[in-house]
Amino acid sequence: MTGGEWRDKGDFTLCANSLMYRKIIHFDLDAFFCAVEELRDPALRGKPFAVGGRPEERGVVASCSYPARQRGVHSAMPMSQAVRLCPQLLIVPARHSAYRATSEKVMACLRALTPLVEQLSIDEAFLDVTALAATGETLAHTLQATINGELQLPCSLGVASNKLVAKIANTAGKAAAADGRPPNRVTVVPDGDEASFLAPLPADALWGVGPKTAAKLADLGIHTIGELARWPEGDLSRRFGKNGADLAQHARGLDHRPVVTDRESKSISAEITFVRDVDDGAELRRTIQSQAEEVSRSLRAKELFGATVKLKLRWSDFTTLTRQTTLTQATDDAAEIYRAAERLFTASWAGQPVRLIGVGVSGLVTAARQLGLWEQPNEKEERLQQTLRGLQARFGATIIKRGARGGTQPSPPRRPARPAPKGESPQK
Ligand SMILES: [Mg+2]
C-alpha cells in the first residue's frame, strides 16, 4: 500500500490504486417448470402453455411459457384469467417431484463451480465467485453452457459486484428479451457502473420498495432509482427509518449483504390457499395453529430448531405480505411458533379476506448445535436431578418420577426455555 487509503465499502475494498470488487452471479432458470415439461413433451415447444391448476378449481399459473407471456399471462395469475387472455392456452398439471429432482441437478452444477451458493428458490440462486480466477462474465457463460448442454435447460445470469445489482441486472436482461423465446441471457454490470446502470430504472425495481413506499416516493417526485440516489440520505432515513438508509445505499448500487449458503437460508414452512377467501379471524388463527404444529413436526423429524418465525398472507387481489420475527432462542415448539405467528397476524390483519396463509421457520440449526447454544446438557440434567432430589426429600421418594423416554440413560433436554419474540422486521 503506497500512499493510498483503505476504504472498506463492503462491496469492494479500495486500496491504493487497486480496486477489489466482489464477483456475484445471480442465476435463474427461464420458465423452469415449463422447460421441464418441454423436455417431457417436445410438442409443447413454441406453444402458449401454463403449468398449474385447472381454472374451475381456482388454479393459479405456477409457470408459463414465453409464447403465453407474450399474450399477457404471468405466474401467480388465476388460471381463469390466463385462459381469458389467451383462449388457446394449454394447461399442464404441475409435477413437483420432477421439478425438485431437476432442481437438485441444477444446484449440483452450481455447487461444482463454488460452494458459495445461496439458493433462493427452486430455480434461483446467488453465487459468490470472487475467489475464482476467471472473470464473472466468463464464469457465467461457462455455467450457462453447462446447464444448456448437460440439462437442456435455458437459464439467465446477472453478473455484478453485489447481490442487489446482479439480481436487478438479470431481471432487466430477461425483460429486454421479449420475443417469445426463453431469454437465456447473461447480463453484466461492470465494476464501478452500478449506480449508472440502476439510475434509469423505476424506483420499485429495488428490494424493499413495495407499492406503499413507491407511492410515498412518487409524492416526493422520486420515480427512478437515479432520483432516489440524488435525494439526501438523512431525509430518507427520517422519512423511512432503517429502510430509508438502506434505500439510499441501494440506490447508489451499494449492497453489503454476503452470499448466505445452504442451511442458514433454508426454511421449513406450511401454507394453504383457501378454496374460498376467509375473513373469519378464529378460522385463520386455527389455520395458523395447525400450520405451527405441522412446522414443529417437520422440525422435530429433521432434528432442527429455527430462530425466525415467518407469516405469509395473500389477500384476494394477490398482494402478498411477509412478516417475520426473530426469537431470542431457536425453537421446535408448536406453541411457541404459534404465539409468534399469531402476533404477526394480529399486527398485519385488519379483517380483510385472506386467500393464502402460511407459517414458516428459518434460521435453522441442528438440535445438537442448539443445545450447545443455550446450555450444556449436563448442567440441565444436574439441575433437574437436584430438583428431583429436593422434592423427594420433602415429599418422599414416590412423589415424582422423571417423565423419561424409557431406560435409565439420562436423555438430553428436548426444548429450550420459552423465549419472548424480539423485534419484528417486515419484509417485502
Ligand atoms: Mg426462474
pLDDT band at 115 (very low <50, low <70, confident <90, very high): confident
List the shell of residues around ion ligand 1, using CB closer than 5 Å: 28-29, 123
For the chain, domain boundaries? 1-192, 196-251, 267-367+378-407
pLDDT score for 372: 34
With beta carbons less than 8 A apart as the criterion, state whether 35 and 153 touch: yes
pLDDT score for 365: 74
**What's the CA gap between 241 and 235, in Å, rounded?**
9
pLDDT tens digit sequence for 180-223: 899 999 999 999 999 999 999 999 999 878 888 999 999 999 99
Distance 144 CA to ligand 1 centre (A): 14
Q: Do domains 1-192 and 196-251 have the same CATH topology?
A: no
Distance 156 CA to ligand 1 centre (A): 8
pLDDT tens digit sequence for 225-266: 999 999 999 999 999 988 899 999 999 999 988 887 765 557
Of the candidates 124, 137, 227, 233, the residue annotated as catalytic is 124
pLDDT score for 89: 97
With beta carbons less than 8 A apart as the criterion, state whether 419 and 336 touch: yes
For 196-251, the fitting CATH number among 1.10.460.10, 1.10.150.20, 3.30.43.10, 1.20.140.10 is 1.10.150.20
Distance 411 CA to ligand 1 centre (A): 46
Distance 119 CA to ligand 1 centre (A): 12
**Half-sphere exposure of 255 toward its Cβ, with a 13 Å CA cutoff?**
25
Phi–psi pair at 260, nearest 5 degrees: -105, 120
Distance 346 CA to ligand 1 centre (A): 33
What counts of helices (H) and strands (E) characterise the chain?
15, 16
Whether pLDDT at 403 is above 60: no
Distance 30 CA to ligand 1 centre (A): 5
Q: Supply the CATH classification number for the domain 1-192.
A: 3.30.70.270
Active site residue 118: no
Residues 301-328 have a mean pLDDT of: 87
User: H-type helices in 252-358, by residue range?
Assistant: 281-301, 334-348
pTM of the model: 0.62
Rg, C-alpha atoms of the chain: 25
The two beta strands, 61-64 and 49-52, are antiparallel
User: Yes or no: is domain 267-367+378-407 CATH 3.30.1490.100?
Assistant: yes
Distance 153 CA to ligand 1 centre (A): 11
